[in-house]
Amino acid sequence: MAPSSKKVNKSDKTDLSDATSRHGAPASLATLSAHLGLSVAAISRVLNGVPAAKSIPKTTQDRIFAAAKEFNYRPNALARSLRHGRSMMVGVLVPEVSEGYATLVLAGIEQGLLQSGYIYFLISHHHRSELIERAQSLLMERSVDGIIAIDTIMPLHSRLPTITVSCPDEQEGVTNIMLNQRRAVELALDHLVGLGHREIAIIKGQSFSSDTEPRWQAIRHAASRAQIKLNPKLVAQLEGDAPSHEPGYFAAQRLLASDTPFTALFTFNDVSAIGAIRALREAGLRVPQDVSVVGFDDVQSAAFQNPSLTTVRQPLRTMGMLAAEALVRQITAHPDHPPSKQLVVDPELVVRESTCPPPAKKRAKS
Amino acid sequence: MAPSSKKVNKSDKTDLSDATSRHGAPASLATLSAHLGLSVAAISRVLNGVPAAKSIPKTTQDRIFAAAKEFNYRPNALARSLRHGRSMMVGVLVPEVSEGYATLVLAGIEQGLLQSGYIYFLISHHHRSELIERAQSLLMERSVDGIIAIDTIMPLHSRLPTITVSCPDEQEGVTNIMLNQRRAVELALDHLVGLGHREIAIIKGQSFSSDTEPRWQAIRHAASRAQIKLNPKLVAQLEGDAPSHEPGYFAAQRLLASDTPFTALFTFNDVSAIGAIRALREAGLRVPQDVSVVGFDDVQSAAFQNPSLTTVRQPLRTMGMLAAEALVRQITAHPDHPPSKQLVVDPELVVRESTCPPPAKKRAKS
DNA sequence: CCTAATTGGGCAAACGTTTGCTCAGGCGCT
DNA sequence: AGCGCCTGAGCAAACGTTTGCCCAATTAGG
C-alpha cells in the first residue's frame, strides 16, 4: 500500500492482525494441530513444557514452537481458567477511583499482582453497601481467585481468599492490612503537644469509613495519656461521601461556628486538611501562625500545598504490595492453612510547614 | 462465641458459603439438573428466558427458579464467555493509577461500562512501551472485548475494538476522544492577554504525553493570533515520568534560572502548576501578584489550592463516559460499520485566584 | 527369544454454558 | 383416518485447554 520508496518510520507498529491466521480468528491449538498434523494434546504439552513432553523429540518440539510463533498463538486464558479451576484474576474493591488514598494503595497492589502473573478487575462502590454486594457477586461470577478490599465494609461473607486494607472488621479467614493507629495518633498529638498546643480540635472521618472508629479510639486514648482533654465542641465529623475537599471545608466551618478557640487541628486525612485550611483562611486565620494543622496519609500533593502539610504518613504503596502478596499467598496456600489475621505497618510523622507553636496570646489565655 | 443474649446486630452478613451446595463448590447447571431431574439445556433456557423456553410450563419454570435461588446458582461467566465468544470484559490502559488526570477519566469509564454490564481490567504502564505491549498481549489473551487507552501511545495494532482518550495518533478503526485544544489554549491565553500579560512563560508536557504536541501547536497558533511572541527562553518542558508535582517544580526553576522576566505562566496541567507555584514562591515571587499561573485539567484539588488555581477545565469524567459508550457501541456494532474517528469535547475556563493583572512596574517596563 | 521399558504420541473426558436439532406424545383440523 | 402443529423437553456439539489413560513401535536387557 505505502510506496516502497518512502521510509517506513511512521507506521512501524507490529500488526497483530496479519500474524494471526488469515480468517481473522486468533489461532487455537486446533489451528496448529491442523497445520502440523499433530494432536492438540501433544502441542499443548510441548508448549507448556510439562514433564510428559520429554518423550517428544527435539525436532518435533521445534516444529511446534515454530508454528506457534508463525501463527502468533496465544493460549486462550478463558479456556485455560475454565479447565484449570484457577483464573489468575482478582477483584479489587475501592470506595472511589478518584481519591488520593485508594489510588496509592492501588499502585502497590498492581505492582504486587502483576509480578505474580495476576490481573485485576477494579470496581468502586462509593461506600454504598448494595453496590459492594453487587460487586462481590459480579466478581464471584467472574471466577476471580480472590478479592482485595480497600476501606470497604463487606456485607457478603464469601469463602474466596480475601485481603482487606484498613478494615478492622474481623472476619473468618480474612487477612487485614492495618496501620498502627495508636502509634500514628501518638505521633501527631505528641508533636502538637510538644509544640505547646492544648486546645486541639479534631475532625473525625465519615461514619462509613472503616478507619474512623479505631482512629477515634486511639485519639481518645492518646489524649488522656498526654493529659489533654478533648472538648466535645472541638470535635467535628466529615459528612457526605463526596471524595473531595469539601467535607473537610465544611467540618472546619462547623468548628469555627462553635466559637470555641483552638490552636491546632488534627484532621482525618490530608484531603480534608486541605479543605479545612481553606475554611480557616477564609475566616481570617493564618496557618500555621494562628492554627496548626496536621493531616493524615501523606498523599502526593501534601508536600506541595501552601503551606506544605505536616502529616502522618501511611506507607500506602507498601500496604498495597503487602495486600497483593498476602492474597497470592492465600490463593496458593493449602486451604486448611490458616492465614494470618493482621499485618500491621508503622506510620511516620512528616513535619512540614503547617504546624508551629501556638500564638502567644492564646497560650497566655489558657 | 458471642453471648446469645446480645443482640445480633454486628454480624448479620449474608453468608454465601451456606447458600451454595454443601460441598463447597458453587452450584452449576449440572447441580440443578441432578436436583430437578431436568436436562441442563432446559434449565439454561429457562434461566436465560430465551424464546424457546416459552414451551416450558409455568410450574416447571417455577421449580427451576426456586432451585436456582435455593442453590444460589450463579452462571459461570468464564464458561459463558467461552461459549458465547463475548466476554463482557474490557481492558483499560492508563499511564499511572495514582495521577489526578487518569483517575477522573477512569471514574467516567467505570460508570459507562458498568451500566452496560461490562467489567474492566486496569493496567498501568508508566509510559513504557514494552509495558504497554505486554499489557496489550495480556488483555488479548484474556479475551477482552475491547480496550480503552488513556494518554497512551499503543505500539501494537490489534483488531480489537479500541477507544483512545487524548491520543491524536490516527489509527485505522480507532475512535479518539479529544479535547478541543485550540479552543482550550485560546481560553487560557486570551484570559492572560486580556489581563494585560505580554511576557508569558510556558511549561510544555513531557515528550511521551500524547497531548503535548497538539497543545504546543495550539499555543503557537493562539499566540501568533494574539500578537504575542513566545520567547524560547520562556518555554520549559516537563521532564521525568514521576506522576508528581516535581516535574513542574523543576521546570519552573529552569524558567527562573533563565533570568528572563515573565508575568504569567501557562502550565501543561494542574499538578505541574502546583509544583511550579511552589518553585515561584520559594524564589520570593508571589502568585498571582508577581506571576499569574494558569493550569490545565481542573483536577479536584485545583479549587482548594492556595491560591486556588485558575485553570482550563477538561470534562474528564464526561470524556470517560463517552469513551465507554463509544466502546460498547463499537463492540456491539456490525463489524463493517465504520466507527467515528473523533469525538471532540469542549473546554471551559475556570477563573480563580491564581491570575490577576501583571504588576505595574513590569507593565511599565515592557 | 522373551519380557520390559522407553519413545512418541493419540483419545477422550472434563471445566460450565449455550443452542441447533431431534423427538415423542397429544391435539386440532380436514 | 391422516396430517400437521404445538407442547415439553432431551441429545450432543461447540467454545479452547489440560490431562489421565492408553497404545503401538522400538529398544534394551536377560
Asked whether residue B352 is domain-assigned, the answer is no
Nearest-Cα residue of chain A relative to residue B307: A306
Choose one of B267, B296, B314: the last residue of a domain: B314
CB pairs under 8 A between A and B: 167
Which pLDDT value is given to residue A242?
74
State pLDDT tens for residues B246-276: 999 999 999 999 999 999 999 999 999 999 9
Which residues of chain A are under the pLDDT cut of 70? 1-24, 361-366
Asked whether residue A365 is domain-assigned, the answer is no
- Residues in A closer than 8 angstroms to B119, CB to CB, are 121, 123, 138, 142
CA distances for B284 relative to A354, B263, B353, angstroms:
19, 14, 18
Asked whether residue B356 is domain-assigned, the answer is no
Q: Which nucleotides of C are covered by protein (CB under 7 A)?
A: 6-12, 14-21
- Do A198 and A157 lie in a common domain? no
* Residue B201 and residue B273 in contact, taking contact as beta carbons nearer than 8 Å: no
Mutate to test the interface with A, among B103, B125, B270 (most CBs of A within 10 A): B103
Query: Does B81 lie at the interface with A, CB-CB under 8 angstroms?
Result: yes
- Do B320 and B218 lie in a common domain? no
- Do B196 and B210 lie in a common domain? yes
Cell (9 digits) for B121: 481490567
Which pLDDT value is given to residue B155?
83
For strand D, list residues 74-93 of chain A whose Cβ lies within 7 Å of it. Answer: 74-76, 79-80, 82-84
- Do A115 and A236 lie in a common domain? no
Tell me the CATH number at A174. Answer: 3.40.50.2300
H-state helical runs in chain B: 16-19, 29-36, 40-48, 58-70, 77-84, 100-114, 129-141, 181-195, 212-225, 246-257, 270-282, 316-332, 360-365
Nearest-Cα residue of chain B relative to residue A111: B124
Cell (9 digits) for A132: 459492594
Which pLDDT value is given to residue A18?
40
Which pLDDT value is given to residue A364?
40
- Do B174 and B323 lie in a common domain? yes
Which pLDDT value is given to residue B360?
87
- Do A90 and A164 lie in a common domain? yes
Asked whether residue B5 is domain-assigned, the answer is no
Which pLDDT value is given to residue B21?
38
State pLDDT tens for residues A16-49: 444 443 446 899 999 999 999 999 999 999 999 9
- Do A295 and A204 lie in a common domain? yes
Backbone angles phi, psi at A152, to 5 degrees: -135, 130
Asked whether residue A240 is domain-assigned, the answer is yes
Cell (9 digits) for A19: 500474524
Which residues of chain B are under the pLDDT cut of 70? 1-24, 361-366
CA distances for A360 relative to A189, A226, A291, angstroms:
20, 21, 12
Asked whether residue B162 is domain-assigned, the answer is yes
Query: Does A53 lie at the interface with B, CB-CB under 8 angstroms?
Result: no
Amino acid B44 reads: S
Taking C1' of D6 and every protein CA, the nearest residue is: B55
Asked whether residue A6 is domain-assigned, the answer is no
The number of distinct structural domains making up chain B is 3
Which pLDDT value is given to residue B334?
78
Binning chain B into helix, strand and coil, the percentages to the nearest 5 are 45, 15, 40
- Do B20 and B63 lie in a common domain? yes
- Do B52 and B122 lie in a common domain? no
- Do B308 and B196 lie in a common domain? yes
Which pLDDT value is given to residue A6?
36
Nearest-Cα residue of chain A relative to residue B156: A14
Give helix B212-225 / helix B181-195 axis angle, nearest 10°.
Answer: 40
- Do B125 and B54 lie in a common domain? no
- Do A97 and A207 lie in a common domain? no
Tell me the CATH number at A45. Answer: 1.10.260
CA distances for A318 relative to A112, A177, A225, A315, B94, angstroms:
10, 10, 30, 5, 21
Report protein residues in contact with nucleic acid strand C, where contact means CB under 7 Å.
A 37-42, 52, 54-57, 60, 79, 82-83, 85; B 25, 28-30, 40-41, 44-45, 47-48, 50, 52, 73-76, 79-80, 82-84
Which pLDDT value is given to residue B157?
82
Question: Residue B47 sits in which domain range?
Answer: 14-76
Which pLDDT value is given to residue A355?
98
- pTM (2 decimals)? 0.91
Asked whether residue B361 is domain-assigned, the answer is no
Q: Do B249 and A114 touch (CB under 8 A)?
A: no
Cβ of B64 near strand D (distance < 7 A): no
Angstrom distance (rounded) from CA A314 to CA A317: 9
Strand partners, A120: A90
User: Which residues touch B39 (CB under 8 Å, ≥6 apart)?
Assistant: B33
